[in-house]
Protein backbone atom coordinates (compact mmCIF):
# COMPACT_ATOMS: atom_id res chain seq x y z
CA UNK A 1 0.00 0.00 0.00
CA UNK A 2 1.49 3.33 -1.01
CA UNK A 3 1.42 6.63 0.86
CA UNK A 4 -1.48 8.09 -1.11
CA UNK A 5 -3.69 5.10 -0.33
CA UNK A 6 -2.84 5.29 3.37
CA UNK A 7 -3.42 9.04 3.52
CA UNK A 8 -6.69 8.64 1.63
CA UNK A 9 -7.98 5.99 4.01
CA UNK A 10 -6.98 8.08 7.03
CA UNK A 11 -8.63 11.17 5.54
CA UNK A 12 -11.84 9.19 4.97
CA UNK A 13 -11.81 7.97 8.56
CA UNK A 14 -11.20 11.49 9.85
CA UNK A 15 -13.99 12.79 7.65
CA UNK A 16 -16.38 10.16 8.94
CA UNK A 17 -15.53 11.09 12.53
CA UNK A 18 -15.95 14.77 11.70
CA UNK A 19 -19.31 14.14 10.01
CA UNK A 20 -20.52 12.07 12.96
CA UNK A 21 -19.45 14.75 15.43
CA UNK A 22 -21.24 17.38 13.38
CA UNK A 23 -24.41 15.29 13.32
CA UNK A 24 -24.14 14.63 17.05
CA UNK A 25 -23.84 18.30 18.03
CA UNK A 26 -26.09 19.61 15.26
CA UNK A 27 -23.31 21.50 13.45
CA UNK A 28 -24.16 21.34 9.75
CA UNK A 29 -20.86 22.97 8.72
CA UNK A 30 -18.82 20.38 10.62
CA UNK A 31 -20.95 17.62 9.13
CA UNK A 32 -20.41 18.95 5.58
CA UNK A 33 -16.68 19.39 6.20
CA UNK A 34 -16.53 15.74 7.23
CA UNK A 35 -18.34 14.68 4.08
CA UNK A 36 -15.92 16.77 2.02
CA UNK A 37 -12.94 15.10 3.71
CA UNK A 38 -14.42 11.69 2.97
CA UNK A 39 -14.73 12.56 -0.72
CA UNK A 40 -11.18 13.92 -0.80
CA UNK A 41 -9.99 10.77 0.95
CA UNK A 42 -11.75 8.60 -1.64
CA UNK A 43 -10.06 10.56 -4.42
CA UNK A 44 -6.64 10.26 -2.84
CA UNK A 45 -7.07 6.56 -2.22
CA UNK A 46 -8.18 6.10 -5.85
CA UNK A 47 -5.09 8.00 -7.01
CA UNK A 48 -3.00 5.63 -4.91
CA UNK A 49 -4.67 2.68 -6.64
CA UNK A 50 -3.90 4.20 -10.06
CA UNK A 51 -0.27 4.70 -9.08
CA UNK A 52 0.01 1.11 -7.87
CA UNK A 53 -1.52 -0.18 -11.09
CA UNK A 54 0.92 1.91 -13.12
CA UNK A 55 3.86 0.65 -11.10
CA UNK A 56 2.69 -2.93 -11.61
CA UNK A 57 2.51 -2.36 -15.38
CA UNK A 58 6.03 -0.94 -15.41
CA UNK A 59 7.27 -3.94 -13.41
CA UNK A 60 5.62 -6.36 -15.84
CA UNK A 61 7.13 -4.52 -18.80
CA UNK A 62 10.59 -4.74 -17.22
CA UNK A 63 10.16 -8.44 -16.58
CA UNK A 64 8.97 -9.03 -20.15
CA UNK A 65 11.95 -7.08 -21.51
CA UNK A 66 14.41 -9.04 -19.37
CA UNK A 67 12.77 -12.30 -20.44
CA UNK A 68 13.01 -11.34 -24.12
CA UNK A 69 16.67 -10.35 -23.71
CA UNK A 70 17.43 -13.65 -21.99
CA UNK A 71 15.70 -15.64 -24.73
CA UNK A 72 17.60 -13.68 -27.37
CA UNK A 73 20.92 -14.30 -25.62
CA UNK A 74 20.15 -18.01 -25.36
CA UNK A 75 19.23 -18.17 -29.05
CA UNK A 76 22.46 -16.38 -30.01
CA UNK A 77 24.51 -18.75 -27.85
CA UNK A 78 22.77 -21.74 -29.42
CA UNK A 79 23.39 -20.37 -32.92
CA UNK A 80 27.09 -19.77 -32.16
CA UNK A 81 27.51 -23.28 -30.78
CA UNK A 82 25.63 -24.78 -33.71
CA UNK A 83 27.77 -22.81 -36.21
CA UNK A 84 30.95 -23.97 -34.45
CA UNK A 85 29.84 -27.60 -34.60
CA UNK A 86 29.07 -27.32 -38.33
CA UNK A 87 32.53 -25.86 -39.03
CA UNK A 88 34.23 -28.71 -37.19
CA UNK A 89 32.40 -31.38 -39.14
pLDDT tens per residue, range 39-77: 999 999 999 999 999 999 999 999 999 999 999 999 998
Question: pTM of the prediction?
Answer: 0.68
pLDDT tens digits along 23-38: 999 999 999 999 999 9
Phi-psi region of 2 (alpha: psi -120 to 50; beta: other; left: phi over 0): beta
Q: Which pLDDT does position 1 carry in this prediction?
A: 80
> What percentage of the chain's residues is helix, strand, coil (to nearest 5)?
95, 0, 5
User: Average pLDDT in the 2-28 region?
Assistant: 97
Amino acid sequence: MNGDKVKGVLQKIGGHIEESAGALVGDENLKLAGQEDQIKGEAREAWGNVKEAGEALVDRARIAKADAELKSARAEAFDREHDTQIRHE
